[in-house]
Amino acid sequence: MKNIILAFAVIAAGFSINAQTMSSVPASSVKSSIQNLISKYGETNKFRINKGVAQAAAFWTEKDGSPKDFESFCNDNYINDAKELDFVFQKISTNLEVLMGNYNKISVDLKLPLHLDMGKILPVDEIFGSYDVSAHFNDDMFNNKLAFICLLNFPFYNLKEKSELGKSWTRQQWAYARMGDLFTSRVPAEVLLKVADAQTAAESYIADYNIMMGYLLNGKGNPVFPQDMKLITHWGLRDELKSNYNKTGLEKQQMIYEVMKHIIYQDIPQTVINNNKVFWNPYTNKVFENNKEVAAKAEPDIRYQQLLNNFKALKAIDIYSPQYSTYIQRAFDQGMEITQENVEKLFMEFISSPQVNQVAKLISKRLGRKLQPFDIWYDGFKSRSTINEDELTAKTKAKYPNRDAFEKDLPDILQKLGFSKENAAFITSKVRVDASRGAGHAWGAQMKSDKARLRTRIGADGMNYKGYNIAVHEFGHNVEQTISLHKVDNYIMNGVPNTAFTEALAFIFQKRDLELLGIKNEDVNKKHMAALDNFWACYEIMGVSLVDMNVWKWLYEHPDATPAQLKETVIRISKEVWNRYYAPVFGINDQPILAIYSHMIDAPLYLSAYPVGHLIDFQIEKQIEGKNFADEVMRMYSNGKLIPQIWMLNAVGKEISIQPMMEAATEALKVVK
C-alpha cells in the first residue's frame, strides 16, 4: 500500500514511477523531508526540492536505511547554495570521466579478440569479451549514496519536460539535467552481466557469420563470384549486391537475395556458413562435396535465439527502471529521446508518400526492367555506380596496403574536407585504426586521454573498395566522437542527442569517399541525384525499422515465445510491412527481405537511428551548402548532448522533419531522367 501512496506523491512532484518500485520510504517521510527543506531554505528552490526528494525516495530501500535515515540524509545532503552545487557538479563530472573512460577502455581491450582478426576465437575470449567491468557501478553508487546525492540535488526531467523547459535552459541547466539522467534505474549487477553476456554472444554470432561466395553455384552448377570472396551477413552481402548494378550483375544480385532468404528462413545449411570445403546451390538449397551431393542439416534457429536472448536479458531490467519501464521506452524516450510513436508515425508518413511511386518508376526506367525486391538497395544514383568497382578496389589497395597507411592518411582526409591543419592533426591524434573481424564499426573514447577506434576489414593484399567505403563512414563517427568529447563545455554534456546524429555525420563523410580518392563528380545534376539517393535509402531502412519495432512490441506481448515462434513472427511481420508499403510499388507480395538486417539481432532497436540519421544528414547538408564544411561540423557537433529537436534548432534552425527531403525529391524528379 505504501508504494502506491508514494507513487501518487511522486507523480505529483513531477516524477513518473510505477507501482513496481521497491522503495521503503512511506509518503509521510517524503512529505516531511520536503517540508523540512522548504522550512530550512525557503520557497526559492521548492520545485527542485520536491523533485529531488521524491526521486531519491523512489530508489531508497530498506538496506539503505530506515525512513528516519532517509529524512536525515535529505536534510544533510541537499545543497541549496548555487556555488557549492556547481562545485559538487564539477567534482562528480571529473570523477565520472575517470570511471567511465577507464571502464570503456577496459571493455575495448577485452573485446579485441572478438572484434579484430586475431585468429580463432577461444571460449576464454568469449568469457572476457562478455565481462562488463562497469556492471557494479550502479550498485556501488547507490550503496555509497553518491546516486542519492545526485537524485536529490540534480533532478531528473522526463522527455516532455525537457522539450518544454529546455528551450530556455542555460548550458549549466542542461548539464544539471543531464546529471539527473545518470541514475534512472537501480539494476543489480548480476542482471547487467546477463545483458552483457547476451549482447556479446549476439555480436560474436553476427561478426563471424560469413558466406563463401566463390562456393555458391548457379542453376547450371557454376560459380559466379571470385573464389576467395568472403562476405559477412548482412552488410557484405548487401554491399556486394549494391555494387552489381551493371550490365552483368543481375545474376549475382538474384543469387545474393536467395542466400538472404535462406538466412531469414533459417533453412540455410549450417555447413555452408564460414566453410570453403563445400559448394552450395542457394536456388535448390543443395550442398556438394567432391562433386557429389551431401546431406546437410539446416542451421537451427540460432539467429532468433540470439534475438530472444537479448530480449529476455533487457526485459529483466524493466522492474528496476521506474522512469522507463520497458526496453522500448528506454530505447526511444531515454536513448533516442524521441517517442517510439513519433518515430513510427514519421516513418509511415514518409514511406506512404506519393514520391515513393514516382522514384520507383524512375529507377525501373533507368534499369530497363521491372523492380525486384532487392532493388530497395538500388545504388544507381551514386556517382560511383558508373565506375567499375574493380578499378576502385585497385586504387584503394594501392593507396592503403595496410592499416598503418590508412591511419597515416587520416589528417590529409580531413584537410581535403576543409579542416585546418591544426584541427585535422588534433582530431586524428585521437583515432586509432584496426583491421576488423566483422564488417567494421567505430568505438568512441569516454575520456579525453583515450582514443576512438576505427575498425574496417583490411585484407592481406590491402583495403578493397568496400572496406574503404566503410572506413570513411566509420571515420565520420570518430570525428563526431572526438569533437563531441573534446570540444563540449563539460563532460556531462559530451556526445550527441542520440545515435542518429553520429550516423548522420558518418553518412555525410561516406558520400564523399570518391572525392577523397581524387575522383570528381562532374554531373551537373549531382545535387538532385544525391537527394534521390537519400530518399530511396530512407524508404528502404524505414521499413526495416518498422519491422524491428513491431517485433519488439510482439515480444512484450509474448515474453515466453520460443525461437521457432519468434522466427515465424519476424517473417510474418516483415511480409506484412512489405505488403503494405512495398508490394504496391514493386508489384510482388510476401517478400521477407526487410528481416535480413544483422542489427536486428545484435543491436536491439538500433535500426531506427539510421533513417532518422538520413533525415538529419539531409538537413545538415542543406545547412552547410555554400559554407565551410569543417567549420559547420565543428560548430554543430560542439553542441553536445541536448535533446534532438533542440540540437537541430541550434544546428540548422529547424526540427527533424521529412519535408526537406520530400521537397528535394519532388524537385529532383523534374530533372533526373
What's the confidence (pLDDT) of residue 383? Answer: 67
Lookup: cell for 300 = 537451427
What are the strands, taking DSSP E only, across 415-512?
431-435, 440-443, 452-456
Q: Which residues of 191-214 are buried (b: 16+ CB within 10 A; e: fewer)?
A: bbbbbbbbbbbbbbbbbebbbbbe
What span, in angstroms and rounded, lies between the C-alpha atoms of 253 and 243? 9
What's the confidence (pLDDT) of residue 21? Answer: 52
- 474 to each of 199, 434, 441, 468, how far by Cα in Å? 21, 11, 6, 10
Over residues 293-313, the mean pLDDT reads 97
Over residues 271-286, the mean pLDDT reads 97
Residue 321 near residue 185 (C-beta atoms within 8 A): yes
With bands split at pLDDT 50, 70 and 90, how would you rate the model's confidence at 522? Answer: confident
What span, in angstroms and rounded, lies between the C-alpha atoms of 673 and 384? 18
Checking if the pLDDT of 152 tops 70, the result is: yes
| pTM for the structure as a whole | 0.82
Residue 48 lies in a domain: no
Q: Cα torsion at 183, 188, 191, 196 (round to 10°)? A: 60
What span, in angstroms and rounded, lies between the C-alpha atoms of 476 and 237? 23
What's the confidence (pLDDT) of residue 197? Answer: 94
What are the strands, taking DSSP E only, across 208-301?
210-212, 230-232, 279-281, 286-289, 292-294
Asked if residue 234 has a cis previous peptide bond (ω within 30° of 0), the answer is yes
Residue 400 lies in a domain: no
Nearest to 599 by CA among 369, 307, 335, 171: 307
Q: Cα torsion at 458, 462, 467, 473 (round to 10°)? A: 90
With bands split at pLDDT 50, 70 and 90, how would you rate the model's confidence at 496? Answer: very high
- Provide the residue count of the chain: 673
Q: What are the tens digits of pLDDT across the range 369-418?
A: 999 999 999 999 986 666 788 899 999 999 999 999 999 999 999 999 99
Q: What are the tens digits of pLDDT across the range 76-88?
A: 999 999 999 999 9
Higher model confidence: residue 116 or residue 573?
A: 573
What span, in angstroms and rounded, lies between the C-alpha atoms of 449 and 101? 8
Domain count, the chain: 1
What span, in angstroms and rounded, lies between the C-alpha atoms of 448 and 98? 10
Over residues 552-577, the mean pLDDT reads 98
Q: What are the tens digits of pLDDT across the range 541-553?
A: 999 999 999 999 9
With bands split at pLDDT 50, 70 and 90, how would you rate the model's confidence at 13? Answer: very low
Nearest to 593 by CA among 385, 382, 372: 372
Half-sphere exposure of 296 (CA within 13 A, CB side): 25
Lookup: cell for 494 = 559530451
Q: Which domain holds residue 549?
A: 305-379+521-669
Checking if the pLDDT of 319 tops 80, the result is: yes
Residue 390 lies in a domain: no
What's the confidence (pLDDT) of residue 384? Answer: 65
With bands split at pLDDT 50, 70 and 90, how would you rate the model's confidence at 520? Answer: confident
Amino acid at 453: R
With bands split at pLDDT 50, 70 and 90, how would you rate the model's confidence at 189? Answer: confident
Residue 154 lies in a domain: no
What's the confidence (pLDDT) of residue 444? Answer: 96
- 132 to each of 63, 94, 118, 126, 449, how far by Cα in Å? 25, 22, 21, 12, 21
With bands split at pLDDT 50, 70 and 90, how would you rate the model's confidence at 2? Answer: very low
Residues 6+ apart with CB under 8 A from 35: none
Residue 163 lies in a domain: no
Percent with pLDDT over 90 in the chain: 84
What's the confidence (pLDDT) of residue 47? Answer: 93
How many CB atoms sit inside 10 A of residue 247's CB? 6
- 243 to each of 200, 369, 387, 390, how far by Cα in Å? 31, 18, 10, 10
Higher model confidence: residue 311 or residue 131?
A: 311
How many CB atoms sit inside 10 A of residue 105's CB? 17
Lookup: cell for 561 = 515465445
Lookup: cell for 317 = 531490467
What span, in angstroms and rounded, lies between the C-alpha atoms of 657 and 668? 18
Q: What are the tens digits of pLDDT across the range 607-658?
A: 999 999 899 999 999 899 999 999 999 999 999 999 999 999 999 999 999 9
Residue 539 lies in a domain: yes
Q: What are the tens digits of pLDDT across the range 195-236?
A: 999 999 999 999 889 999 999 999 899 999 999 999 999 999
Residue 373 lies in a domain: yes
**What is the overall mean pLDDT for the chain?**
92
Residues 6+ apart with CB under 8 A from 386: none
Nearest to 337 by CA among 551, 181, 542, 493: 181
Lookup: cell for 481 = 566522437
Residue 116 lies in a domain: no
